[in-house]
Copies of this chain bind each other. A is one copy, B any other.
Amino acid sequence: MDKIIDRRDLDFVLYDLLQVEELTRYPRFAEHSRQTFASAIGTALAIAEQKFAPCNRKCDANEPHFDGERVHVIPEVKEAIDAFAQAGFIAAMYDEAQGGMQLPYCVTLACYAIFRGANVAVDAYATLTAGAADLIHEFGSPEQKARYLAPMLTGRYFGTMVLTEPQAGSSLADVETSATPRPDGTYAIKGNKIFISGGDHELSDNIVHMVLARIPGAPPGVKGISLFIVPKYRVDSEGRLGAKNDVALAGLIHKMGYRGTTSTMLNFGENDGCAGELVGEPHRGLTYMFQMMNAARVGVGLGAAMLGYTGYLHALDYARERLQGRSGKDPHAPPVPIIRHADVRRMLLAQKAYVEGALALCLYAGLLVDRQKYAATDEERREARLLLDLLTPIVKTWPSRYGVEANSLAIQVHGGYGYTREYAVEQFFRDNRLNEIHEGTSGIQALDLLGRKVIAENGAPLRLFGRALAETVLAARGCEDAELAQHAAHLSDAWERLVETTRVLGGAMAKNPELGLANASVYLDMFGHTVMAWIWLKQALVAWPKRSADGAEGDFYRGKLGAARYFFHWELPKTGPQHTLLRSLDTSCLEMQEGWF
């Protein structure tokens, strides 16, 4: 299994925890079954093991380079993405009529999880292509779909997301790239973009850039931004590749990790010859992009969870093999596997709690996407949408933060070896550090959660999540196990405190937004830990009746209960001081003047 994922755990999450088989009751997935899901996951695992994982280190050691004419990427990358595309994973969720697998999003995420755990940098090309394709699928004209979407779904064209500009960073309101209408109905695109992953390479016949730009006369700020298709090579109405568009590689960016993915600075229209096609209506670009962005954010969380997960499996393997030290003080006693040392078990248990919890959370978000789209009633769909919106900032950031923490612990378990490039874990740590930054930094997510999500629709999302949590608490009390009942009591308390803290902050924000929002990052972290405690109690509830099973099966469930216990004893209590801090409306950060640093 190449230490990518514990298949037993993945099945547990999908079938026992999330009960994804129930999705087959929706007409869209009626042809599917646990067998077809398993088959897709099995294919993903096979490709990940054969094509993705083996070149992970090589991708890191052989960063893409530009020779003045072309960007060179090691050939294994193309082989891997070709296998991914040929197996149908770019079009995994598309209609069967379109050559897709018509898989639920949740199951698709399970497959993507495997690729990300195996080689996150290679997966990025595929993910970006899928994301760009989705934008065209959702908002493009039939003609744009014919020319661009079809070759993207088969992996012949790759896609990118082109948002960031050097001067604007997270502040998309300040996008300055211009799109001037031309007589032929296209737009002349002009501007500089930065941090464009997959922005240039020779891996595909074409690259379809999805570019945010401003049409002259557009309103200022985020409401004046439009979305354009800007292909690297022009495509005529018959789908034939034409001349190169005026998109110039201004430079490659050299990153700490994720090195297998080209990261570029691109200049559009340096020679006034860059043609773009408007997608959908003018000025609605950011709205469109944000629909994808939410999926992208779940995807970032998933990648972070999986980097943590594979790191954990590597550390676990090492801890079982590595002999060092002894249990007592007798120097004649033979050395023991380091997993016998309590502090090593602590580090493994923390990793297990972080990464299995994070994966379950991300797949739960995937399930909400499916429900939001395909559930039977309006009400169910609405509820799924509200929950998904609420949780997205947490799904993006919690795994990113605690995934890195898990990777750091994986290094620590390896000792000095973990710090070397001869072992895999140091790369996971470097790769994972990106995830708190891209697709909206954690700071941006925190403002989104507290400033928008929890106060949306008069607090309906918060109440909905509270209801889900209360059901879990009730179930845990119902099984009459002293430990689960205690977990339930702690979760219930934590939730009450969260609601009260939210109320206090909401009141403060109504009077002085900055005062309420100043400590939003703490709120995000606290909320995330509470959600994660809920995820762990849900897992414990499933595991509890099977805790006495024999052998490996019973071990698996006892492990789940052990990790849940760890989370409730070690992690959830950390939210206590966070509530105190937040409710005090602490002004330490606000009052610290620039000159005082």
Which residue numbers of A lie inside 8 Å of B, CB to CB?
164, 167-171, 173-174, 194-195, 220-222, 253-257, 263, 316, 320, 322-326, 331-332, 335, 337, 339-349, 352, 404, 408, 411-412, 415-416, 418-422, 426, 429-430, 433-434, 436-438, 441-443, 446-447, 514, 517-521, 552, 555-556, 558-559, 562, 565-566, 569-570, 573-574, 576-577, 580-581, 584, 586, 588-597
For the complex of A and B, 10 pairs with smallest distance between CB atoms: A221-B331, A559-B596, A573-B577, A342-B518, A220-B331, A346-B589, A343-B443, A256-B426, A254-B421, A171-B325
Minimal Cβ-Cβ distance residue in B for A313? B597
Instruction: Give min CB distance, A163 to chain B, whole Å.
Output: 11
When distances are taken between beta carbons in the complex, the residues of chain B under 8 Å from A320 are 594
Main secondary structure of the interface of A (DSSP, over half): helix
B577 touches A340 (CB 8 A): no
Minimal Cβ-Cβ distance residue in B for A258? B419
A589 touches B171 (CB 8 A): no
Instruction: Give min CB distance, A151 to chain B, whole Å.
Output: 29
Instruction: Give min CB distance, A348 to chain B, whole Å.
Output: 6
A422 touches B559 (CB 8 A): no
A339 touches B594 (CB 8 A): yes
Minimal Cβ-Cβ distance residue in B for A564? B588
B420 touches A253 (CB 8 A): yes
A316 touches B558 (CB 8 A): no
A195 touches B416 (CB 8 A): yes
When A256-B429, A343-B443, A521-B343 are in contact, do A592 and B552 touch as well, CB less than 8 Å? no
When distances are taken between beta carbons in the complex, the residues of chain B under 8 Å from A339 are 594, 597
CA distance A581 to B169 in the complex (A): 42
A569 touches B594 (CB 8 A): no
Contact of A592 among B337, B443, B562, B580 (CB under 8 A): B562
A416 touches B518 (CB 8 A): no
B194 touches A416 (CB 8 A): yes
When distances are taken between beta carbons in the complex, the residues of chain B under 8 Å from A340 are 594
When distances are taken between beta carbons in the complex, the residues of chain B under 8 Å from A316 are 597
Question: Given A171-B325, A416-B437, 13 other A-B contacts at CB below 8 A?
Answer: A168-B324, A220-B332, A253-B422, A256-B421, A256-B429, A339-B594, A349-B597, A404-B408, A415-B441, A429-B433, A556-B596, A558-B593, A574-B577
User: What are some 9 contacts across the A-B interface (CB < 8 A)?
Assistant: A170-B415, A173-B331, A342-B589, A412-B442, A415-B441, A562-B596, A566-B592, A569-B581, A569-B584
When distances are taken between beta carbons in the complex, the residues of chain B under 8 Å from A559 are 592, 595-597
CA distance A170 to B417 in the complex (A): 12
CA distance A222 to B325 in the complex (A): 12
CA distance A167 to B323 in the complex (A): 8
CA distance A562 to B596 in the complex (A): 8
Contact of A419 among B256, B323, B415 (CB under 8 A): B256
Instruction: Give min CB distance, A514 to chain B, whole Å.
Output: 6
CA distance A593 to B348 in the complex (A): 11
CA distance A421 to B589 in the complex (A): 29
Residue of A164, A168, A171, A566 contacting most chain B CB atoms (<10 Å): A171
- Identical copies in the complex: 2
When distances are taken between beta carbons in the complex, the residues of chain B under 8 Å from A171 are 324-326, 335
Residue of A422, A430, A589, A595 contacting most chain B CB atoms (<10 Å): A589
CA distance A332 to B221 in the complex (A): 8
When distances are taken between beta carbons in the complex, the residues of chain B under 8 Å from A589 are 342-343, 345-346, 349, 566
B348 touches A597 (CB 8 A): yes
When distances are taken between beta carbons in the complex, the residues of chain B under 8 Å from A174 are 324-325, 335
CA distance A589 to B558 in the complex (A): 13
Contact of A433 among B341, B408, B556, B596 (CB under 8 A): B408
When distances are taken between beta carbons in the complex, the residues of chain B under 8 Å from A344 are 443
A352 touches B412 (CB 8 A): no
B581 touches A570 (CB 8 A): yes
When A577-B576, A588-B570 are in contact, do A346 and B519 touch as well, CB less than 8 Å? yes
Contact of A411 among B433, B521, B573 (CB under 8 A): B433
CA distance A416 to B316 in the complex (A): 32
Instruction: Give min CB distance, A574 to chain B, whole Å.
Output: 6
CA distance A25 to B345 in the complex (A): 50
B419 touches A345 (CB 8 A): no
Contact of A342 among B169, B342, B343, B514 (CB under 8 A): B514
A588 touches B574 (CB 8 A): no
CA distance A164 to B316 in the complex (A): 23
Contact of A593 among B412, B555, B594 (CB under 8 A): B555
CA distance A171 to B570 in the complex (A): 28
When distances are taken between beta carbons in the complex, the residues of chain B under 8 Å from A595 are 552, 555, 559
B420 touches A256 (CB 8 A): yes
Residue of A167, A325, A429, A588 contacting most chain B CB atoms (<10 Å): A588
CA distance A400 to B593 in the complex (A): 28
B430 touches A412 (CB 8 A): no
Contact of A558 among B422, B558, B574, B596 (CB under 8 A): B596
B580 touches A562 (CB 8 A): no
Minimal Cβ-Cβ distance residue in B for A325? B171
Minimal Cβ-Cβ distance residue in B for A341? B443
Instruction: Give min CB distance, A459 to chain B, whole Å.
Output: 22
Instruction: Give min CB distance, A211 to chain B, whole Å.
Output: 18
Contact of A170 among B325, B332, B434, B566 (CB under 8 A): B325
When distances are taken between beta carbons in the complex, the residues of chain B under 8 Å from A347 are 443
When distances are taken between beta carbons in the complex, the residues of chain B under 8 Å from A168 are 324
When A171-B335, A173-B331 are in contact, do A416 and B438 touch as well, CB less than 8 Å? yes
Minimal Cβ-Cβ distance residue in B for A224? B331
